[in-house]
Structure 1
Amino acid sequence: MSGSAPSSRREGDEAAPSAPGVTRWGLLGTGSAVVLTIVLVLAAGSGVYAVLGYPDPGALTKLGVNLLRLVFDLAGACCLGGLVFAAFFTVPQRGGMISPDGYAALRTAGTAAWLWGVAGLLLTVFDAADSAGQSVTDSLTPGALSGLLEALDVPKAWLLSALLALVLAVACRSTLRWRTTIGLTVLAGVTLLPPVLVGHSASNGGHDFASDSMVFHVVAAALWLGVLFAVLAHARRRGANPGIVARRYRKLAATCWGVLAVSGVIGSLILAPARMWLDTQYGALVLCKIGLLLLVGLVSVPLRRRITRSARDRHVGMLRLAGAELALLLTTVGISMGMAHVPPPNLLDRNATAMDLLIGYDLPEFPSFWQLVTQWRFDLLLGTAAVVLAVSYLAGVRRLRAHGQRWPVGRTVSWLAGCLAVLVASSSGVGSYAPATFGVHMTAHLLLNMLGPALLVLGTPVNLCLRALPRARRGEPYGPREWLLGIVDSPVSRWLSHPVLASLLLVGSLYALYPTGLFQLIMQEHWAHTIMNVYFLGSGYLWFWSILGIDRTPRRVPQLARLGVTLGMMPALAFFGVLVLSMSEPIAGNYYRTLDLPWSVDPMAAQQAGALIGWLGGEIPLLLVLVVLLRQWHREEGDDDDADYRGMLARLESTRG
């Protein structure tokens, strides 16, 4: 545990950099965030409550909600940043234990998680009162609070985030293994999202774009600010590997800056068209955020590059630069707090249709083949993932070729075809019309759950990464190759990749989703619909990954077991198709009637078509899997026969001798 300390001293023997400068910048940024929050909330007056038809709850409730939200966001960023630093910026010790630097970051994350959870619990009460237009003192009785929680979605989101944050706080106190910090990092990212998914961006037309862009925006902002906290703490204690820490932070900050810029513009254009940016208070705040973001990019990015390349003490350089960057980012957070209290121009647009409110956009034409091919609406989450995965794979292949190594063309074609299947299912006319009719939904389901994952697994991406990514040098923080191995070889991956469990996750979702009322509940919320699609893709990939056995997996499953599981899946899919075909009532009938489509589709006919698509479309990939498994089995048997034949010849030769 003490082996990492000498490496930090060798990089610079100067005295530890002084903290007052950074402290002043931090206090300046925090003070400006608090002042901006108070001023903007009081300046907004009762506008947002008038739009919603609620009375003003009073200054105590309004300021309490927004100041607690500021604490919630800063604590969440600090927790996420500490976990990211421990997982991806430090050198694990032997046996997978975290290093002293990682332990310090983890303890800071745990302390921030306690504050995060407490702020979330208080926000549950304050936001319930604020959303109902009541004083917080009138909402503290158990009966009043339980009634508000039952009726309102936003307080439930704060409560969920608070409970997850408290789980993180406990886990950070008991975790000492590097691999576990990766899982906690994912959990911290998820904890940020519940309040985002039910906020202003989740209402009215375009809420699919607005909600997805806010997911990118909030995660990128928390990641940048949180890792900046962790890097500053690392520099103050003169931790190990300052050069590598500076380089990784520079790349992460530049990426977050780009994500913030793109996602912020997209979300702002949905909530407030550009023509309103000069005429509304919300638009003025958008312009202020854009200006601060440009200032951070123009000033910090070149200076970070200079510090990273400098041979002088990087701890001092990072502290001098990051203090000003911290102040600017905290000021931006203060403006965001004010924007959360200012009603965007499109809030409760009276011209919004039922389709606008439910799916975020209109579908004026019948879903003909031409509409399914041409009616594209890019999915910011899955569509972006498909593009990034395709580009990253091609970059890996190019790296191999640059080093004189070959990679099968068929695997590249398969991977790109899988990415195309995900893109079509999420962003083409198929993805656009999937929320409107059950037949198209099942087509998208088939692409995400069966065809796309099968093609992606055939691309063997893990093997490509292990060949293309370089190994981390001895004594340096792990790189992408080690991160990937840490995930693939983890006990969780080994558990999830068991063929029986993977099969239950795949086929069990069909029976839990469609014959019950769960599908109707999911389709009424964009965030739930997105989670459903991600689950389809993830469970499908997990099943084909464990069954095909052509890529690196945590466990080696015998051929006979894989054949048996595949054969068992076929009647399960067939029975599901028969079950849906025999249903007398349409699935999610109330939801489809609420859409009030301008064109008519017989719901039972659409359901029967969807059942056939799901049944037959699901059986075809399974048949192809059987062909692949039988060929593998035949090849293995042939290799065994050849080995036996060669052994027999060797024995004969020895006998003759």
Structure 2
Amino acid sequence: MTTTYTPTQTVHDKKRAALSAAIVGAILLAVVPAYCITLAGGSEAYDRVHLSFPGNPVAGTTAVFWSVNVLSGVATLAIVAGAVLFLKAPKKSRFLPADLSLRPLRWVSGTWALTSAILVFAKGLDAVGLPWSELAEPGGFSFVFVGSYYPTAFSITAIFAFLCWMATYFVEKWTDLLILLWLTVFGNIIPVAVGQLLVGPNHDFGSDAGYLQVLASGLVASSIITVGFASMGPSEKAKFNLVRAANFGVIGAVGLLLIEIIMTPFQLAGTGLTASTTGWLILVRWLMELVLLVLTVVVRRRIHSGRGHARGLALLSGLVVAGWVGVLSAIAQIPPPHYFAGSGTMSEVFLGYELPEGPDLAGLFLEWRVNVLFAVLSIVAIFGYVVLVLKVRRKGQSWPGLRTLAWMLGWATVILSTSSGWGRFAGGDFGIHMVTHMSLNMLAPLLMVLGGPITLALNAWSGATGTAGWARRRLVELLNWRAARWLSNPLFVFVVYISSYYVLYLTPLFEFFMNYHWGHQLMNLHFVIIGYLYFSLIIGVDKGPVELPYIGKLGLAFAAMPFHAFFGVVLMMTATPIAQQYFLYLDYPWSDLVASQELGGGVAWAGGEIPTLIVIIALAAQWSHQDRRERTRVDRHMDLGYNKEFDDYNHMLIELAANDQRAAAERGK
């Protein structure tokens, strides 16, 4: 019996064969560079960092699974980001298309989880220079687990990846994908945060560039995977917005090149491109990123012109990304030049830079050191806001200039707090740290919420089609999301906002975070987010998922004041300086821990009281303005005869008077 294939089946089989070949090629491109570099280097790489050689079984296994882990992690992030950004969900439904296949996500997230679990052991042994047999020794596993940061990092990543894999069996709504997006972003960033980028002079620059590199690579890969997947058949094309995917692909490719401008000088640490193996690999990485930019531009042109799906170009771009991952993984297997640069002082180890002199007023405002992560976030936030304002004005509508000014001042406060001398000295002086904390937690969010970004976006995208219409529907879904209501719950926000001070500073958590650049950035990010949620409930212009009456807003503002005051008093009265061991490690000659903590306590006290009073004044002004508007509206409706409540009240009085007259008449009889 012979099997007959239709032309459609034959074309489909060819596409599947091409896709399978591309996947195999991608895995080889990702694995081979790291594996070959590891075997060729032998024990030399370990000798340079004073570690014993664990043997090729450990070194080779680590190289292979590290490469597959990075590739599968980026692919997981790409698929989730593609579904969030480019999926064409039905206009009147929050549910995903019924025929959307989550099998690719299931495969890559499962691979990501499995390789992360293996790397807990493999990279743990590799990082301390021990063979596999060490795990069989008494206490061997516990020693390996605490011997470096990698086992903990990959344990967390494995949990996140496993949750992503499990979610593929239950995800139904677009909002469910947002949870997966957070898991995949942080799951990919965690190994980066504790890896090579955490070491050496200027590692604050390198670490921030690494975090942004994860986001940019995920954006490029999501564009490529979306275009490639959509080319598998007509039905797949209908599920995704390929024009938007192509645009974001170019943005991501440009982002990778811009990030490289920061990453390359950090990793080379003053050495030439051809002076080390790392330099040669960085040169190859540059070339791949340039090729990737050209390919994404060509793909964008083809899709915008309607000349097919660019399936071949998408597959080629995917192979370039896989090769780029391979180069990245190869660099991670050898000690880079920045490992051996710098003075090696404790200030450089913890902060990435020196603080030879104490802070003065001029230095706090004029001696800047850019915080790359928050500078980029601030620029993107301001640029996006301005674009939306221009869209509103092009529609013939007005937008209050004071709101625009408040938004810009809020993000300018973030930049000043993190990139000026205040941010530069925040890691070495507790008092200055508290100033930046209060600025990020109170002043910046207070200004941001007065900008009303959600209201602006809804106005700018109202009545729009295409990407703007899609964005507006997604924003409305996000505001109606049950999780958004839970996160905006006043009790939850208030408890987290207040307890953050006590849990962070009165436990060992603060000292732990201060030891790492990612800890500094995580604290800063937390301060901004929880501050924004808190002040949005009280004086925010936007109408959020949970809206409090004005008396409730006033109560929420007053309730925080005693907690700030008590926290400030606790800081000033604590005999042992907070994070004492950390500051003693830094051992700055100009540092006075007791005086610095007293300053920090005073800042926490005054910094909580003064902004709260400003908030109360602003809230009273909003309340009064709202009352005037309501009275004006009622008077206008009464004049026009449209006030049903007033008419009903008058009718009730007439009925009561008639009843009284009837009762009096009956008594007279």
Please indicate, yes or no, whether the TM-score normalized by the shorter chain is above 0.5. yes
Contact 1:55 1:133 survives alignment (8 Å): yes
Listed one character per residue, the Cα deviations across residues 430-462 of structure 1 (whole Å, up to 9, x for unaligned) are: 000011111111110111000000000001111
Listed one character per residue, the Cα deviations across residues 468-525 of structure 1 (whole Å, up to 9, x for unaligned) are: 1355648x89633233333333212211212222111111111111122221111111
After TM superposition, the structure 1 = structure 2 runs for residues 471-486 of structure 1, keeping only pairs within 5 Å, are 473=465, 479-486=470-477
| Partner Cα separation in structure 2 for residue 337 and residue 186 of structure 1 | 23
After TM superposition, the structure 1 = structure 2 runs for residues 95-494 of structure 1, keeping only pairs within 5 Å, are 95-100=93-98, 103-104=100-101, 106-140=102-136, 143-241=139-237, 245-273=241-269, 275-298=271-294, 300-312=295-307, 314-315=308-309, 318-349=310-341, 351-469=343-461, 473=465, 479-494=470-485
| Partner Cα separation in structure 2 for residue 395 and residue 643 of structure 1 | 33
Cα-Cα RMSD = 2.6
Q: Report the residue type matching 1:87 in the other structure.
A: V
| Partner Cα separation in structure 2 for residue 645 and residue 466 of structure 1 | 29
Do structure 1's residue 501 and structure 2's residue 498 form an aligned pair? Answer: no
% identity of equivalent residues: 28
Contact 2:449 2:532 survives alignment (8 Å): yes
Q: Structure 1 residue 17: deviation in Å?
A: 8.7
Scaled by the length of structure 2, what TM-score is found? 0.90
Listed one character per residue, the Cα deviations across residues 385-421 of structure 1 (whole Å, up to 9, x for unaligned) are: 1111111111111222222211111111111110110
Do structure 1's residue 85 and structure 2's residue 77 form an aligned pair? Answer: no
Q: Cα–Cα, structure 1 residues 47 and 190, in superposed 2: closer, same or farther, change >3 Å?
A: same
| Partner Cα separation in structure 1 for residue 383 and residue 574 of structure 2 | 43
- Give 3-state SS (helix, strand or coil) of 2:241's partner: helix
Decide which moves more: 182-191 or 34-43: 34-43
Contact 1:206 1:361 survives alignment (8 Å): yes
| Partner Cα separation in structure 2 for residue 134 and residue 239 of structure 1 | 52
Q: Report the residue type matching 2:306 in the other structure.
A: A
| Partner Cα separation in structure 1 for residue 440 and residue 134 of structure 2 | 48
Q: Cα–Cα, structure 1 residues 471 and 81, in superposed 2: closer, same or farther, change >3 Å?
A: farther
Contact 1:549 1:556 survives alignment (8 Å): no
Q: Structure 1 residue 352: deviation in Å?
A: 1.5
Q: Cα–Cα, structure 1 residues 620 and 235, in superposed 2: closer, same or farther, change >3 Å?
A: same
Contact 2:220 2:250 survives alignment (8 Å): no
Listed one character per residue, the Cα deviations across residues 305-332 of structure 1 (whole Å, up to 9, x for unaligned) are: 33113334x33xx212112112222122
Contact 2:226 2:245 survives alignment (8 Å): no
2:660 counterpart residue number: none
Q: Report the residue type matching 1:620 in the other structure.
A: I
Q: Cα–Cα, structure 1 residues 422 and 554, in superposed 2: closer, same or farther, change >3 Å?
A: same
Name the larger-Rg structure: 2
Q: Cα–Cα, structure 1 residues 142 and 536, in superposed 2: closer, same or farther, change >3 Å?
A: farther
- Give 3-state SS (helix, strand or coil) of 2:529's partner: helix
Do structure 1's residue 562 and structure 2's residue 560 form an aligned pair? Answer: no
| Partner Cα separation in structure 1 for residue 303 and residue 254 of structure 2 | 20
| Partner Cα separation in structure 1 for residue 229 and residue 31 of structure 2 | 22
Q: Cα–Cα, structure 1 residues 21 and 594, in superposed 2: closer, same or farther, change >3 Å?
A: same
1:3 counterpart residue number: none
Scaled by the length of structure 1, what TM-score is found? 0.91
Contact 1:84 1:185 survives alignment (8 Å): yes
Contact 2:441 2:528 survives alignment (8 Å): yes
Contact 2:461 2:468 survives alignment (8 Å): no
Q: Report the residue type matching 1:279 in the other structure.
A: A
1:510 counterpart residue number: 501
2:622 counterpart residue number: 632
Q: Report the residue type matching 1:437 in the other structure.
A: D
Q: Report the residue type matching 2:531 in the other structure.
A: G
Listed one character per residue, the Cα deviations across residues 565-616 of structure 1 (whole Å, up to 9, x for unaligned) are: 111111111111111111112111111111122x413211111111111211
Q: 1:551 aligns with which of 538, 542, 545?
A: 542
1:609 counterpart residue number: 599
Q: Cα–Cα, structure 1 residues 557 and 287, in superposed 2: closer, same or farther, change >3 Å?
A: same
Listed one character per residue, the Cα deviations across residues 119-168 of structure 1 (whole Å, up to 9, x for unaligned) are: 11101111111112111233255731122112321111111100111111
| Partner Cα separation in structure 2 for residue 344 and residue 257 of structure 1 | 24
| Partner Cα separation in structure 1 for residue 13 and residue 625 of structure 2 | 64
1:5 counterpart residue number: none
Q: Structure 1 residue 22: deviation in Å?
A: 4.4
| Partner Cα separation in structure 2 for residue 32 and residue 654 of structure 1 | 82
Contact 2:34 2:331 survives alignment (8 Å): no
- Give 3-state SS (helix, strand or coil) of 1:367's partner: coil
- Give 3-state SS (helix, strand or coil) of 2:335's partner: coil
Q: 1:574 aligns with which of 553, 561, 565?
A: 565
Q: Cα–Cα, structure 1 residues 422 and 344, in superposed 2: closer, same or farther, change >3 Å?
A: same
| Partner Cα separation in structure 2 for residue 601 and residue 416 of structure 1 | 34
| Partner Cα separation in structure 2 for residue 84 and residue 142 of structure 1 | 44
Listed one character per residue, the Cα deviations across residues 24-83 of structure 1 (whole Å, up to 9, x for unaligned) are: 444334333332222211122223211221111111111100110111112212222221
Q: 2:530 aligns with which of 539, 552, 555?
A: 539
Decide which moves more: 483-492 or 500-509: 483-492
Q: Cα–Cα, structure 1 residues 408 and 282, in superposed 2: closer, same or farther, change >3 Å?
A: same
| Partner Cα separation in structure 1 for residue 471 and residue 367 of structure 2 | 37
- Give 3-state SS (helix, strand or coil) of 1:61's partner: helix
Decide which moves more: 437-446 or 259-268: 259-268
Decide which moves more: 391-400 or 119-128: 391-400
Q: Report the residue type matching 2:108 in the other structure.
A: A
Do structure 1's residue 70 and structure 2's residue 67 form an aligned pair? Answer: yes
- Which structure ranks higher in relative contact order (CA pairs < 8 Å, sequence separation ≥ 6)? 1
Listed one character per residue, the Cα deviations across residues 531-567 of structure 1 (whole Å, up to 9, x for unaligned) are: 0110000000010111114212112211111111111
- Give 3-state SS (helix, strand or coil) of 1:341's partner: coil
Q: Cα–Cα, structure 1 residues 23 and 118, in superposed 2: closer, same or farther, change >3 Å?
A: closer
Contact 1:118 1:162 survives alignment (8 Å): yes
Decide which moves more: 420-429 or 496-505: 496-505
Contact 1:16 1:238 survives alignment (8 Å): no
Q: Structure 1 residue 16: deviation in Å?
A: 5.3
Q: Cα–Cα, structure 1 residues 477 and 24, in superposed 2: closer, same or farther, change >3 Å?
A: farther
Q: Cα–Cα, structure 1 residues 332 and 642, in superposed 2: closer, same or farther, change >3 Å?
A: closer
Q: Structure 1 residue 115: deviation in Å?
A: 1.4
Q: Report the residue type matching 1:536 in the other structure.
A: F
Runs of 5+ consecutive residues of structure 1 not aligned to the other structure: 1-11
Contact 1:500 1:565 survives alignment (8 Å): no
Aligned residue pairs total: 636
Contact 2:206 2:262 survives alignment (8 Å): yes
Listed one character per residue, the Cα deviations across residues 67-114 of structure 1 (whole Å, up to 9, x for unaligned) are: 10111112212222221222222222444110145x31x332123212
Contact 2:414 2:440 survives alignment (8 Å): yes
Q: Report the residue type matching 2:478 in the other structure.
A: I
Decide which moves more: 226-235 or 351-360: 226-235
Q: Structure 1 residue 222: deviation in Å?
A: 3.4
